[in-house]
Chain A
């Protein structure tokens, strides 16, 4: 559709008419994509998506393909995917926006919605009331900025606890840890026979899934928060230090896999747990399927899931924020919203879990008996969703988490005390926020 609009905006002179005639002939030769007057033209939608097995839509991941084909035919829409490896998504979008040209109508977004807010279409008007009513209200907290809904989350992706049931049984532990004290005790008890009680990827500092975001999980469990009402950092307080001290204690007492400081991606840590070399970790819901796949896992049927152990105040998590957004430059935002509506339709959401392992976001689908039977951890994630799960995303989230994560790594490596690391992190984050606020 935006292509047709561009053609109409070409100034009319002799050369442009000749070029237009040649172009029309060429487009007519291409068949149904040609915007011929009087004949309805298919709307072209381009979508930037992660490659599977990361959360990907029908057509990129192998699920709901007949439904997708039927939707495209019924809506006269051509969908072109550009699917890239997840770590490239942010840079790809940044480069596209820097070029100043329209590239994609729909883009996958993670914690970058505030950062790219000016390039996104507010979706408030495009979201049907029945869809909004079927989503956890808090799911919009990480895809909003300046009071506008700039995206819609399509997978309930909260960190929860995963553990090896066999290891717990062997250690005489009847149920998963419910508090920090139990977590520390269990991790120490489970560190035996060459295994570690706890594993996580602390190697990358920044972004959702970086060490800073894991600390934010513990921070909320201790009753802390990142920013005050004025937007300035307030995390250098007792809850912040408690959260970091917990991580440092579990590292220095040997109950955390020492390799955790070198694992830069969640798969690095997941592989340790699924190899049976560690007993507990926090992870995203996607883990359930690969951990129960005999081709990739040594712990099939031995994986348990529970809400994260509570700190001094509560259990809490962070939101992975797998969301769809619409580009502000899209010439067909209505159609783009309809495609997102299709991605979020109950039947596609159900197949999303059953065929790809990514949980749906719709509450009605999460409560579906078939989904719950195939996803024993779905109920756990739903329970976790009733508790705080703020990811504290801001336009400078990458820079903030880089500074914070680097200081946390210094504390985990023993180069600084938790107090020193958080003080230095707070000073750096204050400067970053001041720069943003001007």
Chain B
């Protein structure tokens, strides 16, 4: 029988070995995640110009953040990103919830439906963007063929060339791509709700709407929170659709924050200001994620608080 001292040594050794085994993964994470974040943060406080031998930097303090505050393009991109994110999160969550409920229904449980659902998600982002480029083509796109064929418009609609339409059309294309994953997430959540809760609610006289409201929705709180957080982050950093379909045009009508950071960094070669915009995106997403998680946290009722006190 081993003594307590021997057990302690064995436990310490076990932990040390575990740490050693995890270290390579931690080093890789530090190299590909932490270092870029730290470097971008540092870069945002520096004026960085291309020069032989690499970037030539000089300390600029908060100058680039002040520049951002007065930059019309930045605020335009903030407005567009807010519209895009709110619109996409609402549409994706509502459509995905509906799709998940249909797939959870006994008639929707065929694997064929799930395979069909996954197609938009399985298509590579750039291929997806090119697909929508053809669908939206003003001259011979499928959407115009449908719209004019049904008599909804006499002339082809300039989906991506009309500044008032372009961002909305990009939003729809991104919704199409995002719905499958969120649907699967919510479907998994639906499958975790115990069926006896529905039976009990039915016995209590609850109709379909009340079962949805008082059983399904509370049961989906965690997956819904995850869906909203993930979709908010993904919507905020959308890039591929803009790059392939509109290049932020026409007349910056589809300029989103992520594309602006790219444009400033790689087209204008202003790496410091580009880093400042990237940090602003990071900060906005972090704050949004915290707010969403707090918003979804279960609230204690006054009575429960009283009892605990």
Contact = CB atoms under 8 A, between A and B. Distances in A.
B210 interface: no
A203 B249 contact: yes
B27 interface: no
A272 B251 contact: no
A68 B80 CA distance: 51
A119 B52 contact: yes
A240 to B, nearest CB: 18
B36 to A, nearest CB: 13
Top 8 nearest A-B pairs (CB, nearest first) are A100-B54, A259-B138, A262-B161, A261-B161, A262-B160, A409-B251, A91-B266, A204-B247
Interface in B36-57: 50-55
Contact of B137 (A204, A259, A415): A259
Given A115-B269, A410-B251, A97 B138 contact: no
B202 interface: no
Contacts of A90: 266-267
A100 B250 contact: no
B268 A261 contact: no
Nearest to B160: A262
A301 interface: no
A98 interface: yes
5 contacts: A204-B247, A258-B138, A275-B139, A399-B267, A415-B251
Interface in A395-425: 396, 398-399, 402, 406-407, 409-410, 412-413, 415
Interface string B137-163: 111100000000000000010111111
Contacts of A101: 54
A22 to B, nearest CB: 24
Contacts of B179: none
Contacts of A100: 53-55
Contacts of A319: none
B166 interface: yes
A94 B50 contact: yes
Interface in A124-181: none
B52 A328 contact: yes
B249 A205 contact: yes
B250 A262 contact: yes
Interface in A70-127: 90-91, 94-95, 97-101, 115-116, 118-119
A206 B139 contact: no
Interface centre among A115, A262, A268 (most CB of B within 10 A): A262
Nearest to B159: A262
Interface in A327-351: 328-329
B71 to A, nearest CB: 12
B163 A98 contact: no
Interface of B: 50-55, 136-140, 156, 158-163, 166, 245-247, 249-252, 263, 266-269, 271
A413 B251 CA distance: 8
Contact of A261 (B51, B137, B245, B250): B250
Given A262-B138, A415-B163, A409 B250 contact: yes
A273 B271 CA distance: 39
A255 interface: no
Contacts, number: 102
Contact of A94 (B139, B160, B266): B266
B138 A406 contact: no
B55 A406 contact: no
Interface centre among B139, B166, B263 (most CB of A within 10 A): B139
A261 B158 CA distance: 8
B251 A98 contact: no
Contacts of A264: 245-247, 249
A204 B51 contact: no
A413 B163 contact: yes
Contacts of A94: 50, 266, 269
Contact of B139 (A277, A329, A413): A277
Contacts of B161: 203, 258-262, 413
Contacts of B166: 262
Contacts of B163: 413, 415
B267 A398 contact: yes
Given A99-B54, A259-B156, A399-B268, 14 more contacts: A94-B266, A116-B50, A204-B247, A204-B249, A205-B249, A257-B138, A257-B139, A260-B161, A261-B162, A261-B250, A262-B166, A262-B246, A406-B251, A415-B163
Given A90-B267, A91-B266, A262-B166, A118 B250 contact: no
A275 B137 CA distance: 13
Nearest to A259: B138
A396 B269 CA distance: 9
Nearest to A254: B155
Given A115-B269, A262-B138, A272-B139, A402 B245 contact: no
A140 B268 CA distance: 24
A259 B166 CA distance: 12
Interface centre among B166, B250, B263 (most CB of A within 10 A): B250
A206 B250 contact: no
Contacts of B250: 202-203, 261-262, 409, 412-413
B258 to A, nearest CB: 15
Given A98-B55, A277-B139, A203 B268 contact: no
Nearest to A329: B52
B306 to A, nearest CB: 60
Contacts of B159: 262
A205 B249 CA distance: 8
Given A97-B50, A115-B269, A258-B138, A406 B252 contact: yes
B158 A259 contact: yes
A258 to B, nearest CB: 5
Given A204-B249, A262-B159, A118 B51 contact: yes
Contacts of A415: 163, 251
Contact of A409 (B158, B249, B266): B249
B70 to A, nearest CB: 12
A258 B249 contact: no
A265 B48 CA distance: 31
A396 B264 CA distance: 12
Given A205-B247, A258-B138, A277-B140, A98 B271 contact: yes
Contacts of A262: 136-138, 158-161, 166, 246, 250
A257 B166 CA distance: 17
A410 B267 CA distance: 21
Contacts of B269: 94, 115
A109 to B, nearest CB: 15
A205 B163 CA distance: 14
Contacts of B52: 118-119, 328-329
Nearest to B262: A91
Nearest to A403: B73
